[in-house]
Amino acid sequence: MPNYPAYVNIADITVTDPFFSPFLDRIRTVSAPDILKKFLAEGAIGNYERVARGEKGGHVGPPWYHGLICECIRGISDLLVAHYDKSLDDQMDAIIEKIAAAQAVDPEGYINPYTTLMCPEKRWGLNGGNIRWQHETYDAGALVEAAVHHFRATGKTSLLKVAVKMANYLASVIGPAPKWNVTAEHSLPEMALAELEQLVREYPDELASVGAVPGEYLRLACALIDNKGHNEDRHMFPKFLQEYAQDHRPAREQREAVGHAVRATLFYTGMATVALETGDAELAHAADAIWHDIAETKLHVNGCVGAKRDDERFGQQYELPNNAYLETCAGVGLAMFGAAQFRLQPDAAVWDVVENTLTNLIPASVSESGDHYTYENPLETRGGMERWDWHGCPCCPPMLLKIAGAMPSYVWAKAEDDLWLNLFIGSEAKFDGVTVSYTEGKIAVRAENAVKLHVRIPEWAENFALSADYTTERGYAVAVLPAGESELTVMMDVPVRKLMAHPWVGADTGRVAIKKGAVLYCAEKEIEKWEDLDFELGDDPVQINADGTLTVTSTDGRTFTLIEYRRWNNHGALPMRIWFRQRGHHADVCDLSGWEGKLYRVYE
């Protein structure tokens, strides 16, 4: 395999950042126990117990509850690597015991509590079933993903045994004829199976002890991807999942992000991950084209995707309404897609997108108390919208745990003698032969051999420089450091900027959004009428306040305080707006000079 960048292992990084360190602590100590408690209170674990007892009927929650429980296990496993918590570990052990008991009653190793309890004769959507509703491949993917991360975190094989048995069953029935033409109705297994194959390669003896078959999981991941768009002889119903599940054409022919935004971003993550594992240049090219389609035409300024409420889907290019749906899960999927893209083609522009999502969307998706969550993340609301304690489809809290657990691993990456600093998050990390840290503009490197340090030049930075000789490459400042200890200073201005959207984004014509560095700001205020928050800005400078807020002055002399978007909706269901009218700003839809490859740029 080519020598692609590897992220730092979660066990080998400590986050010290003044914002992200307490944020991650709150997710681990408050959100994770809260989410598990609420799933237990709903009766989700009872589904496994009913299957184990051989009962019929009585499934609690939607068919994808099994997948959500497994996603929680994946996220919590990663969080425990950084800070061990025996209570959470014991809770996971108890849940895994229930999952294993449920699987044990099926001679083939199949496990999907909803289908087993409610419609056992309708496996894969047949005999009047519907795989789009039953979520069998999604649940299986979540199980495999959880098992891989649980094993990496704890060394335990309890869940890995279950996942390998299910994966072996899938591998025995899915593939080219005479096997079944099945594709994922909700992507996740493609990426998860590739991760399982990686684990087989890294821990051959341990994986052999639980029945893993080398090569089968990558083959199966490829089959699920290759089956997209080939639906004539499908062994499932519905046979044709259309754009909704990225089934409208073969994967290698896809060039645009379409359909259900969560399914889409997870499928594209799987494409990039499998391309990385197989060296499939055609698949990598398709993933790259889709990434650019998102980043350049379909990305909202808060770092999320999914413009349309119906089918929770992408809209057309430049269709970016401010009341868009913007599901938290889609933002998580986008960040994971970007992280996979970087490994295929190390480019700083990927992290401009991912950083925006991690800095703004992810913290905004959970209350500052850590126990209330949001499904939607609009760019404006007229009030009445609050985070919920719990939801009938609580898919976003488990995804929050997953991205919180994964986030630290994205900060640094390494391949042979190349070392990357991707995110300016205070941290200390180590690779084989290299120890690094970043703290408030200071980089320290201790290396056994000379290294090439790639420091990302953020798109929001002005007057960027390093205190060492450097060249630029793919948006990184590259400095060659000798063996031993090196210290560098990153120097850059972090201005407050007014951003304007591409002229073809009709929703924001004549408007600007305000950022300081990567941090997005909004106006949140109790008002008499919505129009009171639709003020016009002039050319007065934005004032930076000691408490981190900003003050802007409207053209009629009123002043407004802007707060960080990631802190909105913590003081009641107040009206909120991100895009503001700007005096003198007139977009010309026929003049696209300076917009090549850009969706947002500084207002001048």
- Per-residue pLDDT tens digits for 162-183: 999 999 999 999 998 899 999 9
pLDDT band at 587 (very low <50, low <70, confident <90, very high): confident
End-to-end alpha carbon distance in the chain: 46
Domain boundaries in the chain? Answer: 1-10+390-494, 496-602
pTM, two decimals, is 0.97
CA distance 429 to 435: 6
Instruction: Please tell me whether residue 582 adopts helix, strand or coil conformation.
Output: strand
Contact 290, 257 (CB under 8 A): yes
Contact status, residue 251 vs residue 283, Cβ threshold 8 Å: yes
CA dist 345 and 418 (Å) reads 14
* pLDDT higher than threshold 50 for residue 1: no
Question: Is domain 1-10+390-494 annotated with CATH 2.60.40?
Answer: yes
**pLDDT given for residue 49 in this prediction:** 98
**For residues 325 and 342, is the Cβ–Cβ distance under 8 A?**
no
Q: Is 471 exposed, middle or buried (0-12, 13-18, 19+ CB in 10 A)?
A: exposed
Residue among 11, 64, 22, 58 at smallest CA distance from 39 = 64
Name the band, by pLDDT with cuts 50, 70 and 90, for residue 528: confident
Other Cβ atoms within 10 Å of 601 Cβ, number? 14
Whether omega for the bond prior to residue 238 falls within 30 degrees of 0, making it cis, is yes
How far is residue 220's CA from residue 167's CA, in Å, rounded to a whole number? 9
Residue-wise pLDDT for 191-219, tens only, equals 999 999 999 999 999 999 999 999 999 99
User: Is residue 358 a contact partner of residue 6, using CB atoms and an 8 Å limit?
Assistant: no
State the average pLDDT for the chain: 96
Please state, in angstroms and rounded to a whole number, the distance separating the CA atoms of residues 182 and 225.
10
| Contact present, 365 and 296 (Cβ < 8 Å) | no
Q: pLDDT tens, 64-73?
A: 999 999 999 9
* pLDDT, tens only, 316-331: 999 999 999 999 999 9
**What's the rounded mean pLDDT across residues 424-446?**
97
